[in-house]
Structure 1
């Protein structure tokens, strides 16, 4: 919790420290029920040498103004206790180790999360404490309370606010993909391959999410962002495969598929390996769990895109090639009539 003065920007006022101390005492009395067990601050707090790690620095309110506060540590001569002011006072002005001014107080409530039950009870307790602190109107102070889950919760809300725009994004990408798979020839065009390329990208994302959750990786809302990366990379692989296919005209389907894979598979393999290794490095980076989880999910998605593109997309491309060889319309699948004695396959130089 962050405590700011309502008037001015100096927190070295006894009334401010007194109100902050009363707030801490009130929060310490909050009780919550979980699994038919009553929990309080005393039962949930993290302890050092058997004593709760609390906001005992507020005891200095009694000597505020009469004793110089040393920074970053203040040792009280009355009780021989040392207070880490560096952890509780922000916006400080220090001269010769003496704390002259500060603009904010930080109140911390560190909980013991040794067991899943205590962790869940602690989450309930912190939410109640947060709502209580934010609901009180003080005379001398303003209180802003957050918990260790606040960032994740706000991030989830931000992502949820744009989820309704995902269908629009998919439609636009789908239209772009289909448009780039068309040509002036209804036999050679491959609009359904554009649809399939997008479907493979989404399927890869869902497969990656399922495998990651099955393996025990934690879920976080930011992982949803990876689906846009996967769509972009998957559609790009689609264009690479189709570009290679169109450069193999004049051969039978088997030969065209062989040449397509010789040309496109190398490019797709190199780019996929590079991308996967990049995210693997991020996944192995210590100290940033959020980055690690995101990189694992995205890296798995890229791996699935690689395999699904070479298998699912390649298989359907073979079927599309047979339709093209048979001079069938790419959408209606009906025979396209050409000039007398001239078939579509012959026009492309095929025997």
Structure 2
């Protein structure tokens, strides 16, 4: 090879080595410091872990699924925050359809035991019994007994009701004699009831909107949010689970059901963590085992696992002290961190095995760390960066999970270079004095053992015949068999084909990704949430929820052009393919009702002052229009409508 080429190659090697070599030298010098003073590097990390680990005393699982699984900057969240803030939504004096989101509630879906028509006297009698059972559920607070009747979300003293029960006047004997229409039906008193959201799988009398049968009835019970509302929900679930009937079946749901079941699902994994821990420890012991009882390192392997646990304990405890939200999924962090810590341990032990066994412990550790620390640093850094990027996710659940993992990786890295490295020093000194890896008693090499039993269980330390400890079965396999095999041409072609297949399947898998969160993926298979949600999604989706339109800026509502614009908006929404266009249903709009009121009373305000005077002193004082107070926000002196 020409001299010029050699010089260029040498220069490139020097240039590429300008980072790794200084770092290796730093790690080598650091290893000598640890080797001379190992005890502080053992006790200080342990003390730090115990101190920071006490942060687990204030652990609180955050289980709000909606918050965790929706973007932080989601427009829906901003709109909801605006409505809750500006309209000052309260528990007292509130209609369910004015809430930006449901408060505390309990819901049931009832079907016949044989999936027959639920609108029959016998079945409906049981439905009423369910209703009465729910009304009688009571919780005690400060010595006072509270039932649904005094805990319900109400307007003008009346609890929100279930229309289907009112249609039959809570009397099962009337079921065969009362004709109901769908989605709206008229009571003999003239009151119109919307039953579309309360009946599921409806069949009709031929070519009419008269209900012939329905498979499901859904009843909803909304509560004011209080310190006892969750307790009421718990009793509600127990009451419905224990409801005894041979005629009907009940599926149940509450405002916290999905979050609670998600937490239970996560906790169901926790008992598996010790099993995973034992499997990891067992694999570590087996994979690092040799027949030489001096160079064998079972205790060091266990300490490697302990090092990862201590790092994770300190990291998580620190974050809990800083009140970083701890979600149920964060409980899986220990498995990830333990795997990363053990990987670092293997790298260090493998590098140690390649050092000259006749060298001093300090020289061996220095050579080990100069060789392995850079690999550990790079892997830890890439893992940390991956999770650090995840911390910027707009999804809070992902962000919090990545924060805990990113900080844990840093701690595990530090603990490997302190606690575990000092444990290697002690292990190296034991090996140097030819002591047994468990009993720490001095032993003799196998070739001079006085018995076969001693040779199998105690002998070790063949330092006189080898210059390294690289005879471990796994190292031998990859060095003498797997490496040469991968160097063969046909094996290279086979590897490329396998990799091409892997890329193909991966590409196909990406095309199968689906948007959204399926609740079945976050709860146990036998969760009570699944039957309720399945029925609701399959049988109650014909008519969706009410939507709210909020004008966030001040508008001259009295001006005819503004009124006409809003009326056109109402009409566009009602006549769209997504709207419910019915003679019994129009948008529940204060301005439409007020316009009609002005027409009936023969009034025509010509300016904002007169408009507001009639609105506040005549229109809103009448009982039938009082609920529109919930739709209006005035300024402090009530001279302008601000939203």
Give 1:344's match in structure 2, choosing from 438, 463, 475.
463
* Mapping for residues 58-97 of structure 1, pairs under 5 Å: 58-61=165-168, 66-70=179-183, 74=184, 76=186, 78=189, 80-81=191-192, 83=194, 85-86=196-197, 88-92=198-202
Gapped regions of structure 2 (runs ≥ 5): 1-107, 449-460, 470-643
Question: Contact 2:355–2:468 at 8 Å: present in 1 too?
Answer: no
Matching of residue 195 in structure 1 with residue 305 in structure 2 = no
Question: Contact 1:272–1:306 at 8 Å: present in 2 too?
Answer: no
SS at match of 1:3: strand
Give 2:317's match in structure 1, choosing from 174, 197, 210.
210
Give 1:9's match in structure 2, choosing from 116, 128, 140.
116
Give 1:255's match in structure 2, choosing from 367, 370, 394.
367
Matching of residue 270 in structure 1 with residue 377 in structure 2 = no
Change (3 A) 1:315 1:123: same
Gapped regions of structure 1 (runs ≥ 5): none
Question: Contact 1:245–1:256 at 8 Å: present in 2 too?
Answer: yes
Structure 1 residue 222 displacement after superposition: 5.8
SS at match of 1:145: strand
Structure 2 CA distance for aligned equivalents of residues 330 and 219 of structure 1: 40
* Mapping for residues 50-61 of structure 1, pairs under 5 Å: 52-61=159-168
Question: Contact 1:244–1:263 at 8 Å: present in 2 too?
Answer: no
**Residue 104 of structure 1 aligns with which residue?**
216
Question: Contact 2:388–2:403 at 8 Å: present in 1 too?
Answer: no
Structure 1 CA distance for aligned equivalents of residues 462 and 247 of structure 2: 89
Structure 1 CA distance for aligned equivalents of residues 181 and 195 of structure 2: 15
Give 1:330's match in structure 2, choosing from 419, 431, 437.
437
Structure 2 CA distance for aligned equivalents of residues 48 and 308 of structure 1: 60
SS at match of 1:105: strand
* Mapping for residues 19-30 of structure 1, pairs under 5 Å: 19-30=126-137
CA RMSD, 1 decimal: 4.2
- Normalised by the size of structure 2, how large is the TM-score? 0.44
Change (3 A) 1:9 1:238: farther
**Larger RCO, structure (CA 8 Å, separation 6 or more):** 2
Q: Aligned pair count?
A: 335
SS at match of 2:308: helix
Structure 1 residue 177 displacement after superposition: 0.9
Structure 2 CA distance for aligned equivalents of residues 311 and 96 of structure 1: 81
Structure 1 residue 298 displacement after superposition: 4.9
Question: Contact 1:326–1:345 at 8 Å: present in 2 too?
Answer: no
Change (3 A) 1:271 1:160: closer
Question: Contact 1:18–1:61 at 8 Å: present in 2 too?
Answer: no
Change (3 A) 1:137 1:192: closer
Deviations 1:221-268 (A, max 9, x none): 665444334333332332233223334447613233222212332223
Structure 1 CA distance for aligned equivalents of residues 343 and 203 of structure 2: 55
Matching of residue 179 in structure 1 with residue 292 in structure 2 = no
Structure 1 residue 176 displacement after superposition: 1.6
**Residue 151 of structure 2 aligns with which residue?**
44
Structure 2 CA distance for aligned equivalents of residues 2 and 167 of structure 1: 39
**Residue 412 of structure 2 aligns with which residue?**
305
Structure 1 CA distance for aligned equivalents of residues 237 and 191 of structure 2: 32
Deviates more, 1:146-155 or 1:223-232: 146-155
**Residue 144 of structure 1 aligns with which residue?**
251
Structure 1 residue 335 displacement after superposition: 5.1
Matching of residue 280 in structure 1 with residue 391 in structure 2 = yes
SS at match of 1:9: coil
Structure 1 CA distance for aligned equivalents of residues 195 and 404 of structure 2: 40
Structure 1 CA distance for aligned equivalents of residues 304 and 157 of structure 2: 60
- Normalised by the size of structure 1, how large is the TM-score? 0.73
Larger Rg: 2
Deviates more, 1:89-98 or 1:232-241: 89-98
